[in-house]
Structure 1
Amino acid sequence: MEKRRFALIGTGNRGTTMWGKDLLAGWREHVDLTAIVEKNPLRGERARNMIGSNAPLYANIDSMLAEQKPDLAIVCTPDQTHDDIIVRALESGIDVITEKPMTTSVEKIRRILDAEKRTGRRVDVSFNYRYAPTAARIKELLNAGEIGRVTSVDFHWYLNTKHGADYFRRWHAYTENSGSLFVHKATHHFDLLNWYLDSDPEAVTSFADLQNYGRKGPFRGPRCKLCPHAHECDYYFDIEKDPFLDQLYEDPSKIDGYFRDGCVFREDIDIPDTMVVSIRYRNNVHVSYSLNTFQPIEGHHLAFNGTKGRIEIRQYEAQPWEEPKEDTILLIRNFPNGRQAVERIVVPHFTGGHYGGDDRMRNMIFKPDMEDRLGQRAGTRAGAMSVLCGIAALTSSRTGKVVDIAELMPELANDGSPNSLRTPR
């Protein structure tokens, strides 16, 4: 069997592990790493050692493409850079896998969609949450019509003070880099909704604010390692206690000035940390969504309300008490008619990232003849619709107006896709 030769673009945490070391460890019979692109040479060298590869290092994609002929580029750079790299790779005649979000603006979405159409190559967006066993089971229940026609959804995501704060230490804390967490983080959640409901978001309204981090903090310093308030700051992060991050970022910061332990209270942080959104879908499903970034718990609550019942789950990822290593989906019927009024469906947590979702996604992409019966493999349209939902939410939170997705990108909202036309209003 012929291996797919791939170039890894960007060697941050995700690139070095998920698409580097872990990919080679589990899928070596299907892939071969032929090049690594990283503008910081020290980080690139250390990432290459962590991956266990002898692939040549390049400072940019153009120099790599001039010497290498990979079949595939895997893009793991900061969000605002994705479009340039994706377009350059497509134009060179190779396929692309990109980390989410696909990109950060309407103009960048257009560039990617145009290049994919023009070149005939393929872009996969790594929406690994679709592959998590619990998400797949919920999709099966919805597809089977277990609760009839879905009318509304309650979806609330909680990031704890370890995970949530980390976004505010890094480049994600600036809208120009990440599009805000409405785009960077919530792109996962908006994509799940689009996929679960098999429809497009139509209208979005939102409230959001910076209530805990940034200028709302009681004090600030240049970075955690040099901060005079380290002894009194609840968010103090000692990078030396994490050998992986210390190796990948601390010494390399002397080259590019990027500190992995930035102060979460920097006054120029411009993304919200508390967000609520209302979404109306083309099939007339109404969604209530929220994201909070400084909780004592990590996980989410999700409920689908239908004409024949309700599907509900509370997934625990981290909390100050013990929970079973499994999820319990509640299938609650309005009219049991001899069936169980409440059915508890237990889904075990599997090993690997996202309870096995990362492995299942890599199987789908790299193993031949994989059946995609749930439509889990996501392309540019899915990537675009989730980003558009995030852009609409951020825009609404700043303007106070309801944002029509079709006005942001009419050519995509009315492109004749089965998603956009299924069960029209």
Structure 2
Amino acid sequence: MTSEGSRRRRIALVGTGHRGTGTWGLELLKVYDDRVELVGMCDINPMRLDRAAEVIGRQTPKFTDLATMLATVKPDTLMVCTRDRDHDIHAIMGMEAGCDIIVEKPMATTAEKCARILEAQKRTGRRVDVAFNYRHAPTATRIKQELLAGSIGEVVSVDFHWYLDTIHGADYFRRWHAHREMSGGLFVHKATHHFDLLNWFLASTPREVFARGEQRHYGKQGVQLGERCSTCPGANDCSFYFDLKGDEWLNGLYGEAWQADGYHRDQCVFRPEIDIPDVMSAAILYENGVQVSYSLNTFMPIEGYHLAFNGKKGRIEVRQYERQPWPEPPVDVILKVLNDGTVERIEVPYVKQGHFGGDVKLQGMLLTEGSEDPLHQRADARSGAMSVLCGVAAMESVTSGRAVKLTELEGYPQ
């Protein structure tokens, strides 16, 4: 680690897709150029790598092999933004090369892969941070402060329901995320955000999960008219048509880059080989006795979430809107209702970009040596593992039809 006031943190990036190039490349340097020096960029797709370098606009050395990059530029920190299934491989390579690690969520896709990362961290003594940006969003921060203040008493249950609309939700089914082997399914890839928030809010870990999940809208539930939108003969008749060429950012990173690795960014959302649920729910029991009712829906007309904490002395709830067919509210309203009839409306300014404003705050904490962390918002490898294991247990429950204890999973951290 470098200290503030000496030299900038030497950071290298592996994975130059949308998240890597945008959040951990262009946007990171725009805000924290005084703290970070991007010393290397790596991607197995040289066409995407070239485009990413062009967009970021720095004379950063480029590599198509991670081991070569690590040996050549010797970064302080490796930022892992590759496909979920490969996070463990790249994080461990970075640790063994002497780097601290920042890894995008989910930290990994299986309990065994989480265990490998935890073992490597212990063996190498390096630091692993998981990019859980939602912990840093202003509304989540305020909720955590309210819970710590104890005004609603001991929390006994939580209602948490996340809604993805047919813009965002459908996009997971166009990409590699639609295959469980690549992403773990949305109980892992997407819900890792939500399970981590619950773990953090409740200062506890899940004990047991009973879940249901089905494919009700995408995949084989629809009619595939073509392999991908750009070549589909039925594009004019499909409400899920996606014009990749009309999106300058995504087209730059993916439009022609398929020629190097065969990956298409606009695959049909109804291709029959999709093997993940698009409607999910889970009943989660925590070690501290809190019961959670959770759901994730991926084809709603709205985007956002509803979250409520039920305590012995009252209730805290928020309905956060991210996208909906009416004007965006100027503030998020956290409603606190106590058993004595007291009602308090807590207004938090609404932040649209960067995961409700969490991205830039997360980056600042991770890249500023000696940052204070009174709310424990910085998420380590064990935090990353526990959110993944909750999703893995949920998928195992969907498959087996029974409740799954997390301690049953091979690689559960002791």
The verdict on a shared fold, with TM-score over 0.5 as the criterion, is yes
Structure-2 residue corresponding to 1:421: none
Listed one character per residue, the Cα deviations across residues 78-111 of structure 1 (whole Å, up to 9, x for unaligned) are 0000001000100111101000000001111111
Which secondary structure does the structure 2 equivalent of 1:121 belong to?
coil
Listed one character per residue, the Cα deviations across residues 255-292 of structure 1 (whole Å, up to 9, x for unaligned) are 11111100000100000000000000011000000000
CA distance in 2: counterparts of 1:274 and 1:390, whole angstroms: 14
Which secondary structure does the structure 1 equivalent of 2:116 belong to?
helix
- 2:53 pairs with 1:56: no
Contact 1:9 1:77 in 2 (8 A): yes
Runs of 5+ in structure 1 lacking a partner?
416-425
Selected match of 1:156 from 161, 164, 174: 161
- 2:108 pairs with 1:98: no
Structure-2 residue corresponding to 1:368: 369
- Runs of 4 or more above 4 Å deviation: none
- Matched letter for residue 247 of structure 1: G
Contact 1:100 1:126 in 2 (8 A): yes
Give 1:350 shift.
Answer: 3.6
Give 1:355 shift.
Answer: 2.5
CA distance in 2: counterparts of 1:410 and 1:12, whole angstroms: 30
- 2:46 pairs with 1:45: no
Structure-2 residue corresponding to 1:386: 387
- Matched letter for residue 382 of structure 1: S
Question: Residues 101-250 of structure 1: matches in 2 within 5 Å?
Answer: 101-250=106-255
CA distance in 2: counterparts of 1:367 and 1:14, whole angstroms: 21
TM-score using structure 1 length: 0.95
Distance 1:119 1:410, change over 3 A: closer
Which secondary structure does the structure 2 equivalent of 1:231 belong to?
helix
Structure-1 residue corresponding to 2:337: 332
- Matched letter for residue 147 of structure 1: I
Give 1:411 shift.
Answer: 5.1
CA distance in 1: counterparts of 2:264 and 2:223, whole angstroms: 21
Runs of 5+ in structure 2 lacking a partner?
none
Identity over aligned residues, as a percent? 55
Distance 1:231 1:406, change over 3 A: same
Contact 1:90 1:119 in 2 (8 A): yes
Contact 1:219 1:229 in 2 (8 A): no
CA distance in 2: counterparts of 1:260 and 1:144, whole angstroms: 46
Which secondary structure does the structure 1 equivalent of 2:395 belong to?
helix
Structure-2 residue corresponding to 1:403: 404
Selected match of 2:267 from 255, 262, 267: 262
How many pairs are equivalent?
409
CA distance in 1: counterparts of 2:26 and 2:369, whole angstroms: 21
CA distance in 2: counterparts of 1:239 and 1:410, whole angstroms: 40
Contact 1:159 1:299 in 2 (8 A): yes
Structure-1 residue corresponding to 2:86: 81
- Matched letter for residue 179 of structure 1: G
- Matched letter for residue 71 of structure 1: D
CA distance in 1: counterparts of 2:12 and 2:290, whole angstroms: 41
Structure-2 residue corresponding to 1:419: none
CA distance in 1: counterparts of 2:303 and 2:351, whole angstroms: 18
CA distance in 1: counterparts of 2:307 and 2:368, whole angstroms: 31
- Matched letter for residue 314 of structure 1: R
Give 1:313 shift.
Answer: 0.5
Which secondary structure does the structure 2 equivalent of 1:18 belong to?
helix
Question: Residues 9-20 of structure 1: matches in 2 within 5 Å?
Answer: 9-20=14-25
Structure-1 residue corresponding to 2:77: 72
CA distance in 1: counterparts of 2:361 and 2:151, whole angstroms: 25
Give 1:410 shift.
Answer: 6.9
Q: Which piece of structure 1 moves more, 115-124 or 323-332?
A: 323-332
Give 1:218 shift.
Answer: 2.6
CA distance in 1: counterparts of 2:352 and 2:362, whole angstroms: 14
Give 1:240 shift.
Answer: 1.0
Contact 1:352 1:359 in 2 (8 A): no
CA distance in 2: counterparts of 1:411 and 1:195, whole angstroms: 18
Distance 1:231 1:99, change over 3 A: same
Give 1:242 shift.
Answer: 0.3
CA distance in 2: counterparts of 1:256 and 1:135, whole angstroms: 39
